[in-house]
C-alpha cells in the first residue's frame, strides 16, 4: 500500500471517471509545509494561525507574522494557501489577553467576534497577511462567521488595511480570494446569501458538528452524539455546496471529516471541490478517490440523504463503495 501511495505523490487527484478533486493539507506552522510537499498535497487548505499567538506572553508583531506567512507562501510556490485569521477562544486560550472566564467558552467571545472588537489585533494580522500576499497565492479566511454583518465588517476592515498599504506603496496582490469557514449552523442555513458575497467556503466540520448536534467536541460523555454521518449534517453540507455552486463559488472542507475514508465517497457525491486534511492522509485519500466514480457517488448520495440515522449511512457506505 505504501508503495502504491508513493507513486501518487506527483499526481493530480482524479477519480475513476476522470473528475478532478483538489487535495490540500492543514498546517499550524511554517515548518509543517515540508510534510505538505512530501505528501503531494495540491495546496494548503487551512493554516491555523493560532500557534503564532500561543505559548508566549505577548502578541506577535506584524513583522513576525509577515515572515511566517511569507515563508509558507514562498515554500508553496504559487499553489493555493488558505490562511485563517485568528481563531482564539473556545479551547484555545491566550492568557496575556486577560479575558474574563466564561460559562460556555465555545459559545463565547472568540475568533472573529474578538477580532472585530479588538481591532488592533485584527488589523495587525491583516496587514501582515496583505504584505505576504505578494509572495504567493494567498486566500484569506475568516473563522466562526455567524452572520453576514460579521462577514461584511471583517471584509471592510481588510479592504481598509489594503488601501492603507497601497497608499504606502507596499505591494499587495490584487487576486486575494476572501472566504469564510462554515462551522456555525446559521451560516450553513443562509449559505445561499453568503455565496453571493464570499469568494469561497470552507466547511469546518469539527465545529459544525458540535454546534448542530449541541454536543461539545471535547466531552467524552456526549461523544456518541458527535455524528459526522448524521443525515442532518450531510444535508447541511449539501446545502452549502449547492448554494456555492449556484453562484459559481468553490467549496472546501477543512474539518477532520474531509480525510475520513467513510466520508470521502459521500463528499465526492455531494460535489465538494477541495478536501483539506492532515498531510499524512493526502495520499491514502488520493488513492481512494482514484478508485471511486463521481457519477456513481452522486447516485448513492440521493439514497444516503434520505436516511434517518448515522448508523444506516455507515452501513450503506461500507456495502456500496
Q: Which of 213, 240, 254, 277 binds ligand PEP (CB under 6 A)?
A: 254
Nearer to Mg ion, 89 or 136 (CB): 89
Q: In whole angstroms, give the CA distance from residue 321 to residue 232.
A: 21
204 contacts ligand PEP (rule: CB under 6 A):
yes
Cβ-contact 21, 251 below 8 angstroms: no
**What is 61-118 written as a DSSP string?**
PHHHHHHHHHHHHHHTTTSEEEEEPP--BTTB--GGG-PPP-S-GGGSS-HHHHHHHS
**What is 260-310 written as a DSSP string?**
-TTHHHHHHHHT--EEEE-GGGHHHHHHHHHT--HHHHHHHHHHHTT-SSH
Count of residues near Mg ion by CB under 5 A = 3
Cβ-contact 237, 270 below 8 angstroms: yes
Q: Which of 32, 161, 183, 260 binds ligand PEP (CB under 6 A)?
A: 183
Task: Indicate the burial class of 101 (C-beta count within 10 angstroms; 0-12, 13-18, 19 or more).
Answer: exposed
Q: Which of 124, 205, 238, 288 binds ligand PEP (CB under 6 A)?
A: 205
Cβ-contact 239, 188 below 8 angstroms: yes
255 binds, options Mg ion, ligand PEP, none, Cβ within 5 to 8 A by partner type: ligand PEP
Q: Which of 139, 87, 152 is nearest to 113 (CA)?
A: 87
**Structure-block grid coordinates of residue 31:** 515548518
252 contacts ligand PEP (rule: CB under 6 A):
no
Q: In whole angstroms, give the CA distance from residue 188 to residue 201.
A: 10
207 contacts ligand PEP (rule: CB under 6 A):
yes
Using the rule CB under 5 A, give the single segment among 116-124, 179-187, 243-251, 311-319 that binds Mg ion: 179-187
Q: Which of 30, 89, 136, 204 binds Mg ion (CB under 5 A)?
A: 204
Using the rule CB under 6 A, give the single segment among 201-209, 220-228, 231-239, 288-296 that binds ligand PEP: 201-209
Specify the DSSP class assigned to residue 220. G
Compose the 135-174 pattern: x for residues touching ligand PEP by CB under 6 A, - for all others.
----------------------------------------
Nearer to ligand PEP, 42 or 183 (CB): 183
Compose the 39-68 pattern: x for residues touching ligand PEP by CB under 6 A, - for all others.
-------x-x--------------------
Nearer to ligand PEP, 205 or 227 (CB): 205
Helix (H, G, I), strand (E, B) or coil at 25: strand
Q: Give least dist CB 241 to Mg ion, A.
A: 18
Count of residues near ligand PEP by CB under 6 A = 10
206 contacts ligand PEP (rule: CB under 6 A):
yes
Give contact residues for Mg ion (rule: CB under 5 A). 183, 204, 207
Give contact residues for ligand PEP (rule: CB under 6 A). 46, 48, 87, 183, 204-207, 254-255
Amino acid at each position: 500500500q505504501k508503495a502504491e501511495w508513493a507513486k501518487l505523490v506527483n499526481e493530480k487527484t482524479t477519480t475513476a471517471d476522470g473528475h478532478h478533486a483538489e487535495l490540500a493539507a492543514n498546517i499550524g506552522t511554517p515548518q509543517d509545509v515540508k510534510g505538505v510537499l512530501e505528501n503531494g498535497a495540491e495546496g494548503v487548505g487551512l493554516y491555523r494561525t493560532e500557534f503564532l499567538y500561543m505559548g508566549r506572553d505577548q502578541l506577535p508583531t506584524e513583522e513576525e507574522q509577515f515572515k511566517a506567512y511569507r515563508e509558507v507562501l514562498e515554500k508553496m510556490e504559487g499553489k493555493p494557501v488558505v490562511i485563517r485569521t485568528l481563531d482564539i477562544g473556545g479551547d484555545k486560550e491566550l492568557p496575556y489577553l486577560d479575558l474574563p472566564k466564561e460559562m460556555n467558552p465555545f459559545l463565547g467571545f472568540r475568533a472573529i467576534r474578538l477580532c472585530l472588537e479588538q481591532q488592533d489585533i485584527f488589523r495587525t494580522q491583516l496587514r501582515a497577511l496583505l504584505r505576504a500576499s505578494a509572495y504567493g497565492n494567498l486566500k484569506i479566511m475568516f473563522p466562526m462567521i455567524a452572520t453576514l454583518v460579521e462577514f461584511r465588517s471583517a471584509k471592510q476592515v481588510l479592504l481598509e488595511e489594503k488601501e492603507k498599504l497601497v497608499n504606502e506603496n507596499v505591494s499587495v496582490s490584487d487576486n486575494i480570494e476572501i472566504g469564510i469557514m462554515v462551522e456555525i449552523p446559521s451560516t450553513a442555513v443562509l449559505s445561499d446569501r453568503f455565496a453571493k458575497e464570499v469568494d469561497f467556503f470552507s466547511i469546518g466540520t469539527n465545529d459544525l458538528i458540535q454546534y448542530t448536534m449541541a454536543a461539545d467536541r471535547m466531552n467524552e460523555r456526549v461523544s456518541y452524539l458527535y455524528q459526522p454521518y448524521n443525515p442532518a449534517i450531510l444535508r447541511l453540507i449539501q446545502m452549502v455546496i449547492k448554494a456555492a455552486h449556484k453562484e459559481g463559488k468553490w467549496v472546501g472542507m477543512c474539518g477532520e471529516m474531509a480525510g475520513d475514508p467513510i466520508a470521502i465517497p459521500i463528499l465526492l457525491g455531494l460535489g465538494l471541490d477541495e478536501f483539506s486534511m492532515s498531510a499524512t492522509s493526502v495520499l491514502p485519500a488520493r488513492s481512494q478517490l482514484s478508485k471511486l466514480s463521481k457519477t456513481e457517488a452522486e447516485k448513492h448520495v440521493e439514497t444516503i440523504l434520505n436516511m434517518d440515522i448515522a448508523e444506516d449511512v455507515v452501513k450503506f457506505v461500507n456495502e456500496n463503495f
